[in-house]
Amino acid sequence: MNRITLSDLVAPTAIKLHLKSNDRDGALLELVELVPDLDQQPEARQTLFRALQEREQLHSTGIGDGIALPHARNALVGLVDRPVIVFARHPTGIPYGSIDSVPARLFFLLIAPTVTLHLGILARISRLLRDLKLRQLLLTVDKPEKVIAALREAEGRV
């Protein structure tokens, strides 16, 4: 598999810097609405939302440090034909059931067409988000393009 470049998987239109919801399901709905490939497919959006809810009921995707990585347990075959990452930020944080109980402020929704891609991208996101400088930048940038630039810069350091 070629090296996964996260900054290439996030489009400026799939970035929301001010989530409005104050609960997990509301945040998941806002994230699903940003998936570019599904903007004209209400049934597919509903399928994705339900899959994300089921995954959260199994175990929270809040990984600590104010980060949540919502994703479905299985690759949603046929839903997308390429991997998609949606990034969103909440101004104060949402209780998310993270292991450290810190409310989630940074959200990376992942959808991939295959299990292999799904797992590879999840691992890559997790590795990148260990970078404190990247996390701090993501909390403060004021434009979607700066999110992508911050990811690209962090990937260059890994």
Nearest CA-CA partner of 4 in 92, 120, 104:
120
Q: What pLDDT sits at residue 94?
A: 96
Identify whether 1 is part of a domain: no
**pLDDT at position 109 over 70:** yes
Q: pLDDT tens across 120-153, in order? A: 999 999 999 999 999 999 999 999 999 999 999 9
Q: What pLDDT sits at residue 75?
A: 54
Q: pLDDT tens across 36-58, in order? A: 888 888 998 999 999 999 999 99
Q: What pLDDT sits at residue 1?
A: 42
**pLDDT at position 64 over 70:** yes
The residues annotated with a catalytic role in the active site are: 71
Rounded to an integer, the average pLDDT of 16-40 is: 94
Residues β-bridged to residue 62? 68
User: Percent of the chain scored above 90 by pLDDT?
Assistant: 75
Identify whether 80 is part of a domain: yes
Parent domain of 70 = 6-157
Identify whether 114 is part of a domain: yes
Q: pLDDT tens across 70-90, in order? A: 998 665 667 788 899 999 999
Q: What is the mean pLDDT of the chain?
A: 91
CA distance 118 to 156: 21
**pLDDT at position 102 over 80:** yes
Instruction: Name the domain count of the chain.
Output: 1
Torsion of CA 157, 99, 9, 25, to 10 degrees: -150
Q: Is 35 exposed, middle or buried (0-12, 13-18, 19+ CB in 10 A)?
A: buried
Q: What is the CATH number of the domain that holds 41?
A: 3.40.930.10
